Amino acid sequence: MSEQTLQKARPSKRSTGFSPALSGSNSIGIHLTLGIIGFVMVFPFIWQVIISLSTNAQVMSVPPTFWPGDLQWGNYVTVFTKLPFLDQLGVSVSITVIRVIGQVVLCSMAGYAFARMRFSGKGIILTIILSILMVPPQVYLIPQFQIIQTLGLLNTVLGIALPGIFSAFGVFLMRQIFLGLPLELEEAARLDGANPFQIFWKIMVPLATPGISALVIITTLWSWNDLLWPLVVTTYAEKMPLSAGLATLQGSITTDYTVMMAASVMAIAPVLILFIILQRRVVEGLAFSGSK
């Protein structure tokens, strides 16, 4: 074998681009930066848990106490004496389930229609729907209240949930999901004799599961944190969701921050567990919707 052939067979030192030491230092720097950013984002929740296990004297102390000596688990018990917590939890769950089911059904069907079907005025109708995103919710707050009052749905779960069963953002998200799916699948199903509803329900919906999961978690977070509308249409504590119930713990003169933080931790827990379970699907759905 000639010397020229041996030189070609040897690995080139310049092929890697970066030396191992430089690559390792970059990796350490990136992980350190991400770790700091992650700690900054998680710290408010950690501080909330610490306050929920403290006393009011420790919360008000200067300098602040970063870790309570004796953990005050009784603050979580006090929540049930100051709030109808279980009733409000049931209201929050009911509202969230109604809104999630409504948005998954309506937004997925509307998104599929705007992505695949041809009908006159499709662009104009889509523009009108998306223009809702530019209107502040406070603008149509009074008309919504008048409609709910006329229907006799004040202080009811349906009255709180009804305005949120449709979302312009959900339509846009599902439209992007369906646009990213192969058109050949629909054509093959159409040749096999499937009607439009069968194509949508049996073929497109299973393929759009990541996007639907993203819509579910986004709707859940929005519904669980909704505060203004429940305060407008409810006047009884047991008819309020947790978001409105927590707001009533803030007094006009003094506030028991330890009990408020304990109630907040318990209110956050169900949504946090749901997000941990569906985290991967949420990221996949949002990434897939933006790839078109």
Task: Map out the domains of the chain as residue ranges.
Answer: 81-289
- With bands split at pLDDT 50, 70 and 90, how would you rate the model's confidence at 168? very high
Q: Are 164 and 228 in contact (CB under 8 A)?
A: no
Region at 121 (left for phi over 0; alpha for psi -120 to 50; beta for the rest): left
pLDDT of 242-258, one tens digit each?
999 998 888 767 788 89
Q: What's the pLDDT score for residue 226? A: 92
Tell whether the model's pLDDT for residue 11 goes beyond 70: no
Whole-angstrom Cα distance, residue 260 to residue 51? 9
- With bands split at pLDDT 50, 70 and 90, how would you rate the model's confidence at 118? confident
Note the CATH architecture for domain 81-289.
Orthogonal Bundle (1.10)
Exposure string (b/e) for 135-159, b if CB count within 10 Å is 16 or more?
eeeeeeeeebbeebeeeebbebbeb
Residue 236 backbone phi and psi in degrees, to 5: -105, 140
Tell whether the model's pLDDT for residue 268 goes beyond 70: yes
Tell whether the model's pLDDT for residue 124 goes beyond 80: yes
Q: What's the pLDDT score for residue 174? A: 93
Q: Beta-carbon neighbour count of residue 255 at 10 Å? A: 12
Q: What's the pLDDT score for residue 18? A: 43
| Mean pLDDT to the nearest integer, 148-172 | 93
